[in-house]
Amino acid sequence: MKTQVLASIGLFAASAFSQAVLDSGTGFGTYYYDVEQVEACGTSFANQNLGFVECNFFTGLSLDQINSNNLVAMNHTQIAGNLADYCGKRVIVTVNGVQSDLPLFIGDGCQRCGTGSKTNTVWNPNGAPGLDFSYSVLSELNSNACFAGHIDIAWEIVDETLYDFDTNAPGQPTGPVNQRRSVDKKSERATRRRR
């Protein structure tokens, strides 16, 4: 009986810490920008980094302004109608059976990722399911990324917000959730000291 109770407590604790899965799939990872390595893999990302991300529709933030290589683009068609559902949510990527612990988050739409059959297992540059990353992240997920141009991946988008985007209410604060909370706590402590 004691073993059953401990097992039940362990199962409850595990489910309490897991997040709901909003979307998952298998396909191909590619790269389209990089704010840290602007010149990499024989490509200049300077112009791409100036492009506005789909998730900050109202205020028009560029990749350079967001200044994070952890932003991920997903199926454009899927995200376009559901910005508030996906933008800023954590993405867990698995490559060759190894789950990445990088703090990746949805921030943009990918045209290639929204075309082609979800069951297609053959790479097609004109349309194949998957996600689009920074060059640095794709290289960290698989050191062969530059040579191959794409890698096989599996992913889950989970209901945990890592980055707040201005998707529904123009003028709302944007930025990394943990960073903003630490700034809010510092200003709260400063306010208390002045009283």
pLDDT in tens, 41-88: 999 999 999 999 999 867 788 999 999 999 999 999 999 988 989 999
Question: What token pair was written down for 19?
Answer: 């997040």
Can you name the residues that pair with 41 across neighbouring β-strands? none
pLDDT band at 171 (very low <50, low <70, confident <90, very high): low
CB burial of 68-93 (b: ≥16 within 10 Å; e: otherwise) equals bbbbbbbbbebbeeebeebbbbbbbb
Q: Does pLDDT of 15 surpass 80?
A: no
Fold for 19-189, please state it.
Answer: Barwin-like endoglucanases (2.40.40)
Residue 169: which pLDDT band, with cuts at 50, 70 and 90?
low
Q: What is the pLDDT of residues 128-146, one digit of tens each?
A: 899 999 999 999 999 999 9
| 71-75/104-110 β-pairing | parallel
**CA–CA dist 42, 55 (Å, integer):** 28
What integer pLDDT is reported at residue 16 of this predicted model?
40
More confident residue, 93 or 16: 93
Task: Choose among 98, 92, 111, 113: nearest CA to 157.
Answer: 92
Rounded distance, CA 46 to CA 43, Å? 9
> If pLDDT is split at 50, 70 and 90, which confidence band does 194 have?
very low
Helix (H), strand (E) at residue 9: helix 2-17
Q: What is the pLDDT of residue 174?
A: 74
Is 186 buried (19+), middle (13-18) or exposed (0-12) by CB count in 10 A? exposed
Three-class SS state of 125: coil
What is the distance between the alpha carbons of residues 131 and 150, in angstroms, rounded to a whole number?
10
Mean pLDDT taken over the chain: 82
| Beta pairing partners, 29 | 131, 151
With 50 as the cut, is the pLDDT of residue 14 above it? Answer: no
Mean pLDDT of 173-179: 75
Q: Please report, rounded to a whole number, the percentage of residues in the chain having pLDDT higher than 70.
A: 78
pLDDT, average across residues 159-184: 71
Tell me the β-bridge partners of 55.
none
pLDDT at 109 over 70: yes
Domain edges within the chain: 19-189
Mean pLDDT of 1-25: 55
